[in-house]
């Protein structure tokens, strides 16, 4: 669904109104052109490029558990966050 669009000139005067029907027709016409051009064709990814979940590079040195930090306890936080 498209909303009608009002096109104004530099002075703020109405120049043209594009209806939702016109916008819809323009959208689907351009979409069909893109599909016809092969832009949206699916490509098979080689098995070697699929992420297997193994760590690579610097990530391999990280442990399995993330670092968990407790909230700061200060005079402002006081009893809100007991430690």
DSSP 2-60: ---EEEE-TTS-EEEEE-HHHHHHHHHHHHHHHHHTTTT---PPPGGGS--S---GGGG
What's the first-to-final CA gap in the chain, in angstroms?
53
Residue 75 has a pLDDT of: 56
CB atoms within 10 A of CB 52: 7
Q: Collapse the DSSP code of 76 into the 3-class scheme (helix H, G, I; strand E, B; otherwise coil) and give the result.
A: coil
> Which residues of the chain carry a pLDDT beneath 70?
40-43, 51-83
pTM for this predicted structure: 0.43
Residue 76 has a pLDDT of: 57
Residue 83 has a pLDDT of: 53
Residue 7 has a pLDDT of: 95
CA distances (Å), 10 to each of 16, 17, 70, in order? Answer: 13, 16, 56
């Amino acid at each position: 669904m498209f909303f009608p669009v009002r096109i104004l000139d530099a002075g703020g005067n109405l120049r043209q109104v594009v209806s939702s029907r016109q916008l819809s027709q323009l959208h689907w016409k351009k979409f069909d052109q893109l599909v016809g051009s092969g832009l949206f064709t699916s490509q098979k990814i080689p098995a070697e490029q699929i992420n297997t979940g193994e760590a690579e590079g610097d990530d391999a040195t990280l442990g399995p558990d993330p670092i968990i930090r407790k909230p700061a306890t200060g005079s402002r936080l006081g009893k809100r966050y007991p430690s």
